[in-house]
Amino acid sequence: MDALDILTDLDNVVPFFQPIFSADEHRVVGYEVLGRYKKDDSYISLGPYFLDETIPEEYRLDLDNTVLKKALEQASSLDEDVMLFINRDADLLLYDDESLLEILLGYDKQGVSVDRIVIEISLNKSQEDIERLGHLITYYKTYGIKIAFDKLGDNSHQIDLIGLISPNILKVDLQALRSINLAPSFQDIIYSYSLLARKIGATLLFENIEMVYQLQYAWKNGGRYYQGYYLQKPDARFVDRNVLKEKLKKECQMFINSEKKKLEAQFEQTEGFQTKVTELLQKHRKIEKYEELLKVLAKEMEQFAFRMYICDEDGFQLSPNIFKDQSGWLIQEGYLHKNWSWRPYFLENILKMRKERKGILSDLYSDIETGESIRTFSYPLKDKQFLFIDISYDFISDHHELL
């Protein structure tokens, strides 16, 4: 439809509400407000019109505010702890930084408290005035308004904003999880979002959940809030807050059981590595030269290892690498005396091994040299020396509990 047809018929512009569910309560904790235009017996999404920069700002703002006012009128019937998520383009916020707050404060007096409002900020193009936007968002937060960052990762300017303010919610799109050509780094990116949220005290909201495995993925990666067609589609009416309570409770229990089973299998694998390495070191305890020891160990552990080396407690490599390629095991002298203390958790794990006198299995990560997903089993030797064994991806892929 032509935008002018909609802008001259605002009576048929209405809000739709998509429920947002929580992992801790298994019920609706909020609704995202979405604009629709009623045409005959169908509804047309207004999303493209909100983002169409050929439409003058004042018209798009009028459309936004019309949807918002109608949504706030209906929200007065909700429980007082239900949040309302409102989408706002950053450029429109800067174009008119007063009308939104005026509307919200007006309805605050009518029973829709501003501390229930979550403004989803979208950066749709290069944002030149990040500092001004940061100050504006900080000002909104003084009223108790919550801030969410939408389309996380789509725009590098969000990193600048995160540096200026601490958003309450980080919204992660799981649409990419449906692709058969999903990049291996996707998991690492999601993990980094999880760490970021924890560091700044934000909550992760996963959207576009359309299948049960996406819900499980969101749960496993620290998501507290969930949204998507698998749960509930947008509707003109509010749903019963407990509409999925039993279903979500059962599915989360399945996720819990599956994860516990996987962790138990990982512990068993770790114990297996521990036993194997202990036995081999005892068997070859008379070998004192690092290179000779690594050659012997490599031959007996080649079913799961592809690289080994020895470091001291400060991370300096005491041995060369022994590395397995298609031709067999190679000695890489160039790694001798390199220092690895800069790696995350390196010194922490060294001290833990020294204190507990047992090995540690790392999490799954991408190897810098091979680019493959691997794990490392670290083992304490004598005299503050430590053996590092990199586990091959082939072995990991054959043991799904390690993935």
- Beta bridge pairs of residue 311: 317, 386
H/E element, 354 = helix 346-356
Evaluate the CA torsion angle 367, 372, 375, 378 in order and state its sign: negative
pLDDT at 179: 72
First to last CA, the chain: 48
Cα dihedral 242, 245, 246, 250, rounded to 10, equals 170
Give me the count of residues in the chain: 403
Residue 384 makes CB contacts below 8 A (sequence gap 6+) with 312, 313, 354
CA 101 to chain centre: 30
DSSP single-letter state for residue 333 = G
CA 391 to chain centre: 26
Query: How would residue 178 be classed by pLDDT, with cut points 50, 70 and 90?
Result: confident
* Lowest-confidence region among 42-51, 121-130, 201-210, 211-220: 121-130
Average pLDDT for 167-185: 81
What span, in angstroms and rounded, lies between the C-alpha atoms of 218 and 75? 28
Average pLDDT for 195-222: 94
Query: How would residue 53 be classed by pLDDT, with cut points 50, 70 and 90?
Result: confident
pLDDT tens-digit readout, 383-393? 899 999 999 99
- Return mean pLDDT, the chain: 92
Query: How would residue 359 be classed by pLDDT, with cut points 50, 70 and 90?
Result: very high
Query: Taking 90 as the threshold, does the pLDDT of residue 59 lie above it?
Result: yes
pLDDT at 157: 60
Query: Taking 80 as the threshold, does the pLDDT of residue 123 lie above it?
Result: no
pLDDT at 125: 56
pLDDT at 183: 64
What span, in angstroms and rounded, lies between the C-alpha atoms of 130 and 372? 37
Question: In the chain, which residues fall in CATH 3.30.450.20?
Answer: 259-402
Under CATH, which number does the domain 259-402 receive? 3.30.450.20
178 with 210: CB under 8 angstroms? yes
pLDDT at 181: 65
Query: How would residue 130 be classed by pLDDT, with cut points 50, 70 and 90?
Result: confident
194 with 204: CB under 8 angstroms? yes
pLDDT tens-digit readout, 255-286? 999 999 999 999 999 999 999 999 999 999 99
What span, in angstroms and rounded, lies between the C-alpha atoms of 228 and 18? 8
Helices 245-283 and 290-301: crossing angle in degrees, nearest 10, is: 130
Share of the chain above pLDDT 90, in %: 77
Query: Taking 80 as the threshold, does the pLDDT of residue 135 lie above it?
Result: yes
pLDDT at 377: 98
pLDDT at 191: 85
* Lowest-confidence region among 97-111, 185-199, 348-362: 185-199
Question: In the chain, which residues fall in CATH 3.20.20.450?
Answer: 3-167
Query: How would residue 127 be classed by pLDDT, with cut points 50, 70 and 90?
Result: low
CA 52 to chain centre: 29
pLDDT tens-digit readout, 143-164? 999 999 886 654 556 677 777 7
What span, in angstroms and rounded, lies between the C-alpha atoms of 353 and 114? 51
Query: How would residue 176 be classed by pLDDT, with cut points 50, 70 and 90?
Result: confident
Q: Which of 204, 119, 136, 141 is nearest to 169 (CA)?
A: 204
Under CATH, which number does the domain 3-167 receive? 3.20.20.450
Exposure of 296 by Cβ count < 10 A (0-12 exposed, 13-18 middle, 19+ buried)? middle
pLDDT at 361: 97
What span, in angstroms and rounded, lies between the C-alpha atoms of 261 and 113? 44
For 198, other C-beta atoms within 10 Å of its C-beta total: 11
